[in-house]
Structure 1
Amino acid sequence: MLAAVAAVAASVLLLTGCQVGLSDEGEPLTVAQSELLAQTRFQVASRGDVVLHISMLADDDVDHREYEVTLDPVAHAAWGVMLRGPSSLAVEETVAFSPTAFLRQVDGQWQSEAALDSALSVVFALAADRPENAQLLRQSDARHLGEVEVDGEQQQVFRLPSVDGGGEAVTRLWLDGDGRLRRMDAGDDERLVILLTDDAPLPRPAGLELGDADG
């Protein structure tokens, strides 16, 4: 459920501000908006493999990380590169991950690391195998925050519902004019931003075993 997506992001990140043109409080969803939002994660799954750009923390933060990965939303697997550290000193590594594993490529071999970062696990909640319930979304505390222009196109911005309806959710989804998910964030431009791009997906590396559906 969309509320579960919001809960994962909110568990590690806090709202720190609001973009110009977007409302802090937002408006209750209309019928059309709830139906659009209900299709969002199902639409991601229907797109097939998608390239994500993921940024965590400020560019100059010692713990800053960026990922450029291909996500297989059905197999729940992702692979690509990670830039670790402040942007001016970042170290690039080839990585792959699933909900239960994080691997780095060292000397051409995949090596398993510690458990997946909870913030990074959000990418596996971007897709779903069926639409959400639009009526329940209208009855929830999900909100339409407004419309902004991004790279010459208008995008609708929604705040996801909280798990218990208490209004504490901060996670936002940005949808383009075709209803496609273009961005998910935790309420600002620094803590966690996931961009869904139109770049060509990279093929899954040969021999990569993640214990996912395609294993």
Structure 2
Amino acid sequence: MTRRRFRFRFRFRFRFCFDFSFRPRFHFSFRFATVAACLLALAACRTAEDAGRPAAPRPLTADEADRLALARFTTYRRGTGDVSVTVPSRGSTITLTGRIDWRRHHGYAEVRDNADPPARELIHWTPTAVATRPHWNGGLPGESPSSGWEVHRLLPHGSALDAALLLLLNLGSDRPDNAQLLARSDARWVRDDRIGDTAVFVASGPGAPGSPAGRDRLASTRYWIDRDGRLLRFTARTAGEALWTSTDLPPHPTSSLPPAPPELSGPAPEGGTRDG
């Protein structure tokens, strides 16, 4: 009896351990691992594909709303700053290089129009009027000429250049905007970007009350703002133009503006037209 039990146990253990006809569920585990690897590969491909697509505009975070609220105030606190502007207008391109005093609402610049024939002029401007020195070839002088100025009323609704001039003066404000209202408005984060070595985020500005919402409205104004709330670039569509007016505002210090011509300090002239 003892021998039979011993032989039975020995045979069972031997067959269990060494009988290679016994097949565990290894084939199922292998197939599962293969499917999982394929799914991971597909997910990686989808992630790479999505990474190449620009992110959709989204509402501002609290930090982004704070920085957008500070943008015009930090510009105003600078007092005077250099600007470089490109204005598309009626098939030509106007470039403006100059300085703005945001506290006194006064600008001074050389303007070049690459139309046929090309034109250059020197300008001083305020929110209501522009003094022009036509046929100018001397760059931007430290002291502006004492004579030869022509003054006309600023017409932002009839001239892409005049609209850009008014926008430039309005890029400074003596107080921050309301960050909570901006966060609840249709202002949007557009993307993260860089200007030179400086990291910025790009925001579309809020529309005026009653302005149409949607994709076209979203594309009307853009602000490039660094981590300290400084405005380094601004773009807008002005006077019905389909192209962008682009303004760079380098943050380095600059000298003050020369005094405006006496003609510009009087009442704004009535009527008048301006090309561009």
1:119 partnered with 2:173: no
Residue of 16, 36, 39 corresponding to 2:67: 36
* TM-score where L is the length of structure 2: 0.60
Distance (whole Å) between structure 2 residues aligned to residue 62 and residue 194 of structure 1: 19
Q: Report the equivalent of 1:211.
A: 265
1:77 partnered with 2:114: no
| Greater percentage in strand | 1
| Greater percentage in helix | 2
C-alpha RMSD over aligned residues: 2.9
- How big is each residue's C-alpha offset from its partner over 1:168-192, in whole Å with a ceiling of 9 and x where there is no partner? 2420000123321011102799520
- Structure having the higher Rg: 2
- How big is each residue's C-alpha offset from its partner over 1:152-205, in whole Å with a ceiling of 9 and x where there is no partner? 322110011112373424200001233210111027995200111245534333
Kept in 2, the 8 Å contact 1:68–1:80? The answer is yes
- How big is each residue's C-alpha offset from its partner over 1:89-148, in whole Å with a ceiling of 9 and x where there is no partner? 643221111111111125941221353422321112101111111111111111111101
- How big is each residue's C-alpha offset from its partner over 1:13-57, in whole Å with a ceiling of 9 and x where there is no partner? xxxxxxx9854x411111111111111111110011011111101
Kept in 1, the 8 Å contact 2:83–2:99? The answer is yes
Residue of 189, 193, 196 corresponding to 2:249: 196
Kept in 1, the 8 Å contact 2:101–2:256? The answer is no
Kept in 1, the 8 Å contact 2:67–2:228? The answer is no
Distance (whole Å) between structure 1 residues aligned to residue 53 and residue 178 of structure 2: 28
SS in 1 for 2:168: helix
Q: Report the equivalent of 2:226.
A: 176
Q: Report the equivalent of 1:92.
A: 120
Kept in 1, the 8 Å contact 2:131–2:261? The answer is no
Q: Report the equivalent of 2:94.
A: 65
Q: Report the equivalent of 1:105.
A: 133
Distance (whole Å) between structure 1 residues aligned to residue 232 and residue 243 of structure 2: 17
**Seq. identity, %:** 26
* Amino acid in structure 2 at the alignment position of 1:186: A
Q: Report the equivalent of 1:14.
A: none
SS in 1 for 2:107: strand
Distance (whole Å) between structure 1 residues aligned to residue 234 and residue 78 of structure 2: 16
Unaligned stretches of 5+ residues in structure 2? 1-51, 137-144, 156-161, 267-276
Structure 1 residue runs of 4 or more that deviate by more than 6 Å after TM superposition: none
* TM-score where L is the length of structure 1: 0.76
Cα deviation, residue 151, structure 1: 1.9
Distance (whole Å) between structure 1 residues aligned to residue 54 and residue 221 of structure 2: 14
Stretch deviating more after TM superposition (173-182 or 104-113): 104-113
Q: Report the equivalent of 1:157.
A: 202
Distance (whole Å) between structure 2 residues aligned to residue 78 and residue 62 of structure 1: 25
Residue of 69, 80, 83 corresponding to 1:52: 83
Which is bigger in relative contact order (C-alpha 8 A, separation at least 6)? 1
Kept in 1, the 8 Å contact 2:232–2:251? The answer is no
Unaligned stretches of 5+ residues in structure 1? 1-19
